[in-house]
Amino acid sequence: MASHASSLFIIAMLAAPVAAQQTPATVPPTAATALTSYQSSGRDLLRELVETNTTPSVGSTTKAAEQLAARFRAAGFPASDVQVVGPDTGVDAKDRNLVVRYRGAGRRPPVMLLGHLDVVEAKREDWVRDPFTLVESDGHFYGRGTLDMKSADAAWVAALLRMKKEGIVPAGDYVLALTAGEEEGGNNGVQWLLAHRRDLLAGVAYVLNGDAGGGELHDGKPMSMDVQAAEKVYQSYDVVARNPGGHSSQPRKDNAIYALAAALGRIAAYEFPVQTNAVTRAYFARTADLGDPSLAADMRALGAAETPDPAAGERVAAHSPYLNAQLRTTCVATLLEGGHAPNALPQRAAALVNCRIMPGVEPRDVERALRAVVADTSVVVSPADTAKPSPPTALPAALERTIQSVVASLWGPLPVVPDMETGATDGLYLRNAGVPVYGLTGLFVDLNVPEDTRAHGLDERIGVKAYYDQLEFTYRLLKAL
């Protein structure tokens, strides 16, 4: 975890607005407005990525990486600077990574641009549309990965290809890494690169992670640009009920499925206590007057006090799942199995409970809390994996000023705000390897509207205008750096 001084530095660097020259935002294409060549290429890239299945079960990040690598080589990047790397044999050979180095003038250290190519599973029968066909409808692009996170992957690629075409030599190298395994944690691409090809990341000063941060909308209007400075800790727990079982013709009260169902009901009803940290306090303080007026006073109170007012926290948390996740550790059942035969009493019933733990909270304390909530000796709670802490990263003043200037050039003088990612990203492996990571993407969404936050869910989508603005923001940011 960051020291108190580092925490204050995060707040100070992200609190002060920076003046910037404003120019009009990109014009959203309509039926009467033709796409620019850059928007068209960005749309083609998004289509290619969405329509290349990269799910863990039947997809291949290797295929997506090779398709993108061909684009970079065709654009004039030396073959030695465009590499598809990862496991060469076995089932993991389908989970390789793309690493591209864009050579700069050497006036600053290299900057890494991070994204992941894999996506979570999507069943066609559950979706209104084919999840692996990019569909433009009602002002949105639909398809698995549009939000998480192939739009950001496409934006990185489109910006670098445009810069190459225009003959731009950046001040220093860019190292693009589009990786495998982020969603499933199997053959994780960032871990593989750190263990086997760290030479490809040589000299990197910091990472811009397109899998976090981004613009917030309120009532359809840009509210702030969030930069991820912290993230919650991912930890799952097995919750298992066991029983001797027997013949289903002679039911008994101590049924493993019923015991598990009761335990999960108690977990569902339990709320971990409200808490804040330096990053979330800065977030609440800076956005209190930008969103729902009914929350302003409570958000200011949460931003001002190291010990949060529980009542204020509960009122803010009740507003949306996003704000609730900013204020407490959360645990939710995500997988379920039970029984072994249709004519037998169950001998075992099990669930996976996935927790997103506030930074600084010990996973063993969460485990103890779950055991206390379950309160049944026939149900065992145990860790299903090993938690990996992800310490906060303070944003340098110069980078903050650059981000603010580029944001202002598109959307006006919006505040740049520290953000705690409620999920987990591959940035944690780089942070733990000593490389600073800043979560940032130019995509705007309304985090408090479930219809706009469909990552991992049905009919995933992003706004068409939001995507084209993301393309322009990414290009301007990489030029400005």
Q: What is the pLDDT of residues 143-197, one digit of tens each?
A: 999 999 999 999 999 999 999 999 999 999 999 999 999 987 567 899 999 999 9
Average pLDDT score over residue span 90-110: 92
* Pair (46, 86) in one structural domain: yes
* 56 falls within a domain: yes
Q: How far apart are CA 425 and CA 356, in angstroms?
A: 12
* Pair (119, 241) in one structural domain: no
* 223 falls within a domain: no
Q: How far apart are CA 382 and CA 240, in angstroms?
A: 9
Instruction: Tell which residue, 14, 59, 236, 47, has the closest CA to residue 153.
Output: 47
Mean pLDDT computed over every residue of the chain: 90
Average pLDDT score over residue span 380-399: 89
* 103 falls within a domain: yes
pLDDT of residue 444: 94
Q: Which of 327, 362, 383 is the last residue of a domain?
A: 383
Q: How far apart are CA 157 and CA 171, in angstroms?
A: 18
* 349 falls within a domain: yes
pLDDT of residue 471: 98
- 92 falls in which pLDDT band (50, 70, 90)? confident
Range of the domain at 82: 35-212+425-480
Q: How far apart are CA 369 and CA 376, in angstroms?
A: 13
* 457 falls within a domain: yes
Answer whether residue 202 shows pLDDT above 60.
yes
Q: How far apart are CA 341 and CA 164, in angstroms?
A: 61
* Pair (203, 242) in one structural domain: no
* Pair (237, 379) in one structural domain: yes
| Distances 176 to 44, 55, 94, 125, 436 between C-alpha atoms, Å | 19, 21, 20, 35, 16
For the stretch 111-144, pLDDT in tens is 999 999 999 999 999 999 999 999 999 999 999 9
pLDDT of residue 210: 96
Answer whether residue 23 shows pLDDT above 80.
no
pLDDT of residue 102: 98
Q: How far apart are CA 179 and CA 98, in angstroms?
A: 6
Instruction: Tell which residue, 142, 356, 106, 111, has the closest CA to residue 209.
Output: 111
* Pair (188, 272) in one structural domain: no
* Pair (254, 375) in one structural domain: yes
* Pair (186, 247) in one structural domain: no
- Give me the percent of the chain exceeding a pLDDT of 70: 92
* Pair (119, 256) in one structural domain: no
* 414 falls within a domain: no
Q: Which of 358, 383, 408 is the last residue of a domain?
A: 383
Residue at token pair 């609190």? 15
* Pair (374, 452) in one structural domain: no
Q: How far apart are CA 313 and CA 428, in angstroms?
A: 27
Count of structural domains within the chain: 2
* 389 falls within a domain: no
Q: Which residues pair with 179 in a beta bridge?
A: 116
What is the distance, to the nearest Å, from the Cα of residue 100 to the centroid of all Cα atoms in its chain? 22
* Pair (374, 268) in one structural domain: yes
CATH code for the domain in which residue 203 is found: 3.40.630.10
Number of neighbouring beta carbons within 10 Å of residue 13: 21
CATH code for the domain in which residue 369 is found: 3.30.70.360
| Distances 476 to 152, 156, 176, 231, 402 between C-alpha atoms, Å | 14, 11, 16, 26, 10
Answer whether residue 17 shows pLDDT above 60.
no
* Pair (346, 448) in one structural domain: no
Answer whether residue 18 shows pLDDT above 70.
no
What is the value of pTM for the model shown? Answer: 0.84
* 388 falls within a domain: no
For the stretch 263-287, pLDDT in tens is 999 999 999 999 999 999 999 999 9
* Pair (459, 375) in one structural domain: no
Q: Which of 383, 403, 438 is the last residue of a domain?
A: 383
Cis peptide before 149 (omega within 30 of 0): yes
Task: Say if residue 343 is exposed, middle or buried (CB neighbours under 10 Å; 0-12, 13-18, 19+).
Answer: exposed
